[in-house]
Amino acid sequence: MTEPQTQTLLVTSTGESTGKTAITLALGLLAKERGRDVGYMKPKGTRLQSNVGKTLDRDPMLARDLLDLDSEMHQMEPIVYSPTFVQGAIRGHEEPGALADNVREQFDALAEGRDLMLVEGGGHHTTGGIVDLTDPQVADLLDARVLLVADYADPGDLDDVLAATSDIGDRLAGVLFNRVSDSAYDELENDVVPFLESRGVPVVGLVPRVQELAGVTVADLASELGAEIVNDAPTGAFVERFLVGAMGGDEALRYFRRTKDAAVITGGDRAEIHTAALEAPGVKCLLLTGAHRPPGAVIGKAEQKGVPVLMVSGDTLSVVERCEDVVHSGRTRDTETVERMRTLLFEHTDVDSLVGAATADAEANADDGSDADAEDEDADEA
C-alpha cells in the first residue's frame, strides 16, 4: 500500500510584518488538533539574531518549541539570508542551483513521514530573487500550495495582491487578509472579495484587527529598549506607530493630532515638541533620546495627563529603527500571540481548505473530551 504523500503549504505575504509567522504556526497548531503530523521549514532565514556564536532566525526556534519538533536548525533554516549572504550572492559567491538542491534535500528530510509541511516564506514573496529562490520559486521547488497573507487599508493595496497572485499562479490556495480594521471590513467583504473571486483569486479569510497583536505596550517597549521611565504614569497603553518630532511646536501639534496609538520620539531638550505632543490625545508616550532629561514642568504635565515619559540613550534615528524592530518583529511573536492567532483563524478562516479536515481519530478524541467535560459539569452540578 502506497503511503499518503506529504501535503505542503507555503505561507507568503505581500510585504513584511503582515503576521505571517503567527499565521504559519497557528495553522500548525490547528493541523495538529486535526490529527496531522506537522513539520516546519523556513528556507530563507530573515529574522536574524546572534545565538551562541551563530546567526539564526528566531521563527524556526519558536516553531520548534510550539510544534514540539526535534528538527535541527540547519534543516529548518538552510539559508541564512543575511546582508553578508546577499552581498556574497551579488558578487557571485553563491550558486543558485546548489542552494536549491540544499533546500530540497533538507525539506525531504524534514517531510519524511509527515502529513503536512508548513513552509514559511521570506520577508515578502519576492525575497530571494537574487538567488532564484523567491517564494513562488520555492513553491515550485517543493511542490507546495501557497497561502498569500496581505494587509488591507484601501483599494490601492489590491495592486500588490494581484501582482503577487500572478507570480504565484496555479499554486495559489487563497488570500488571507490579516489585521482588518472595523472601518475596512464591510468594504472587503462586500466589494473586494467578490472582485478578487471574479478574477479567479479565492479569499480564504478576513481576520479582524486585534490591538494586542498590532502593537506593543509602553511597558514592553521600555523594557526592550532599556529605557528609563521618568514619571509615574500608567504603561499599559499600546503603541503601534512612531512619530519623529523634528519640526516647530505649532506644526508638530497639527502633525500629532492626526494620529493615534503613537509614541513621539524626539530629543530630550526639545521642550516645545514635548508640550505639543502632550496636547494630542493619540500620543501614548514620549520617548526622549540623547540622554537629555526634560524640564520638570514637562514631566509633571505628562504625569497629569497619564502619558509616560521614557528616556533612552542613542540618537533619534537609531532609536526609531530599534522601536520599529520591537513593534514589527519583537515581543509580538511569541506563544501567546500564536495561541491568539489560532483562535482568530479558527473563527474567521477556511482552515479545512488549508490544512485539511479533522481525521476520524481526532474527531473521536474531541468527542471523548466533550463527553468528559459534560460528565465533569454534571458532577459539579450534583
Active site residues: 42
- The residues near 119 (Cβ < 8 Å, ≥ 6 apart) are 8, 9, 10, 11, 40, 41, 42, 43, 107, 138, 139, 142, 144
Q: Which residue has the cell 509614541?
A: 263
CA distance 370 to 359: 16
Yes or no: say if 270 and 292 are a contact pair by the CB < 8 Å rule. Answer: no
> 6: closest CA among 105, 120, 100, 118?
118
For residue 22, how many other CB atoms are within 10 A of its CB? Answer: 25
Dihedrals φ, ψ of 154, to 5°? -155, 170
- The residues near 108 (Cβ < 8 Å, ≥ 6 apart) are none
CA distance 87 to 92: 9
Region of residue 154 (phi > 0: left; psi between -120 and 50: alpha; otherwise: beta): beta
